[in-house]
Amino acid sequence: MRTYEKKAEDKGFSIIAGVDEAGRGPLAGPVVSAAVILPALFPVSGVNDSKKLSPKKRDYLYENIYEHALSIGIGIVDPVEIDRINILQASLLSMAMSVDNLNPQPDYLLIDGTFRIPSDIRQEPVTHGDGLSISIAAASVVAKVTRDRLMERYHRDYPQFGFSSHKGYPTRAHKEAIRKFGCCPIHRRSFRGVKEVIQGKETSAGCHV
Q: Give all domains of the chain, ordered by start, each with its CATH number.
A: 3-155 (3.30.420.10)
What is the average pLDDT score of the chain?
94
pLDDT at 204 > cutoff 50: no
Cα 169 from Cα 174, distance rounded (Å): 7
What's the N-to-C CA distance of the chain in angstroms? 45
Contact assessment for residue 110 and residue 8, using Cβ atoms and an 8 Å cutoff: yes
Contact assessment for residue 118 and residue 25, using Cβ atoms and an 8 Å cutoff: no
pLDDT at 131 > cutoff 90: yes
Cα 152 from Cα 94, distance rounded (Å): 20
pLDDT value for 172? 96
Cα 168 from Cα 188, distance rounded (Å): 10
pLDDT-based confidence at residue 174 (cuts at 50, 70, 90): very high
Pairing of the two strands 16-22 and 31-37: antiparallel
Q: Which of 175, 190, 205, 166 is nearest to 88 (CA)?
A: 190
